[in-house]
Amino acid sequence: MPIRIVFSGIGALIGFVIGFATRPTFLGFKLPLEALFWGSRDGRPLQMMLIQHLGGWTIAGAIIGLALSFLIAYLPAINASMPVARPTTPPQPQSELEPKYSSAASAKPTTQPASENTKAAAGQTPWDKLIADDPDVGRAAHKLGAYGDTYVKQFAHDYMALNDKSYLNLIVDKIEQDAKRQQQPPQVTTEEQSALPPTASRANETVETTGVFWNVHWRRLNDGRYSAELEGQNRTFPNEEEFRKAVAQTVQKNI
């Protein structure tokens, strides 16, 4: 009995380590272990997602460890019960009077080629399987596909990160609004120009377009930089990637 407990404990520990290394991401960042103790309502979906991921790997490791302990314990008995192999007589040469052709049944291949559907299913990603199994998610992906593959990829990333269908309409509406703003840039008013931080108010810097990313209003300047107000301060970022990272860090601090 103790050996089984030891193997189960080791398997559970290894499973937890693997779960921690492969833990899910949110907005491009891996969820911290502190998420297990978040008590806010907004952080509840991320907390449950991390608990399910770590718990699944830990349980799987414990089961594998327990199975290995049983195998090690009963392996000598299995080897002892196996019959001793006896020498077999070599096959007799075929008589010249016997026909040398085989029957039609034996000429058939023993294995059948895999069907096209089986091959296609084997190459499916989790996202492809999800949109195939869930009609609502499939219709949402098809709808956003009209704006381009970039928005479909963004939808897949955001939805798979939360993995909660109650957020489906919210994610789709946000991405659709962003896509429409990108395709039809709004006219920038004088008030918006005056609201830019000092680094963006020079004569050769103008606002090309504006938008909203996770409730943060941003402006893209003609030199490719992004301007936004984060935590009550006007900040300027060299590119879109740096802007999204700063927003993600701000959201994580406020959860």
In a domain, 229, yes or no: yes
In a domain, 81, yes or no: no
Binning pLDDT at 50, 70 and 90, where does residue 184 land?
low
pLDDT at residue number 38 = 66
Kindly state whether residues 212 and 227 are assigned to the same domain: yes
Write out pLDDT tens, residues 220-254.
888 889 888 887 788 889 898 888 888 888 877 76
Kindly state whether residues 247 and 228 are assigned to the same domain: yes
Kindly state whether residues 206 and 148 are assigned to the same domain: no
Burial of 66 (0-12, 13-18, 19+ CB in 10 A): middle
pLDDT at residue number 84 = 57
In a domain, 38, yes or no: yes
CB within 8 Å of 238: residues ≥ 6 apart: 224, 225
Kindly state whether residues 23 and 50 are assigned to the same domain: yes
In a domain, 239, yes or no: yes
pLDDT more than 70, % of the chain: 69
Kindly state whether residues 172 and 215 are assigned to the same domain: no
Kindly state whether residues 142 and 172 are assigned to the same domain: yes
Domains: count for the chain: 3
**Could you give the dihedral angle defined by the CA atoms of residues 98, 103, 108 and 111, in that order, rounded to the nearest 10 degrees?**
-70
Question: Pick from 238, 234, 177, 187: which is nearest to 209 by CA?
Answer: 187
Check whether 107 has a pLDDT greater than 60. no
pLDDT at residue number 3 = 75
CA distances for 149 relative to 123, 138, 166, 167, angstroms: 20, 14, 23, 21
Kindly state whether residues 168 and 198 are assigned to the same domain: no
CA atoms within 13 A on the CB side of 164: 15
CA distances for 156 relative to 29, 160, 161, 234, angstroms: 15, 6, 8, 31
Kindly state whether residues 168 and 191 are assigned to the same domain: no
Domain boundary among 42, 76, 110: 76
Check whether 197 has a pLDDT greater than 60. no
The structure tokens 């998420």 sit at 35
Kindly state whether residues 138 and 160 are assigned to the same domain: yes
Binning pLDDT at 50, 70 and 90, where does residue 139 land?
very high
pLDDT at residue number 89 = 60
pLDDT at residue number 92 = 57
Give me the chain's average pLDDT, please: 74
Pick the more confident residue, 194 or 59: 59
In a domain, 84, yes or no: no
- CA dist., res. 22 & res. 9, Å (int): 20
Residue 52, Cβ neighbours under 10 Å: how many?
A: 13
Write out pLDDT tens, residues 59-91.
987 899 778 877 887 777 666 666 655 656 655
In a domain, 191, yes or no: yes
Residue 54, Cβ neighbours under 10 Å: how many?
A: 22
What is the model's pTM? 0.30
Question: Pick from 247, 254, 253, 231: which is nearest to 178 by CA?
Answer: 247
DSSP string, 50-93: HHHHHHHHHHHHHHHHHHHHHHHHHHHHHHHHSPPP-PPPPPPP
Which helix (H) or strand (E) covers residue 230, if one does? strand 226-230
Q: Are 35 and 47 in contact (CB under 8 A)?
A: yes
Write out pLDDT tens, residues 11-56.
778 977 897 788 788 777 777 777 777 667 767 787 788 788 878 8
Kindly state whether residues 194 and 231 are assigned to the same domain: yes
Check whether 137 has a pLDDT greater than 60. yes
Check whether 105 has a pLDDT greater than 50. no
In a domain, 97, yes or no: no
Which residue range is the domain that position 177 belongs to?
Answer: 127-182
Kindly state whether residues 202 and 225 are assigned to the same domain: yes
Check whether 214 has a pLDDT greater than 70. yes
Helix axis angle, 149-162 to 135-145, nearest 10° = 150
In a domain, 121, yes or no: no
- CA dist., res. 55 & res. 19, Å (int): 8
Domain boundary among 156, 182, 208: 182
pLDDT at residue number 21 = 82
Pick the more confident residue, 203 or 129: 129
- CA dist., res. 207 & res. 221, Å (int): 4
Local structure of residue 113 (DSSP, 8 states): P
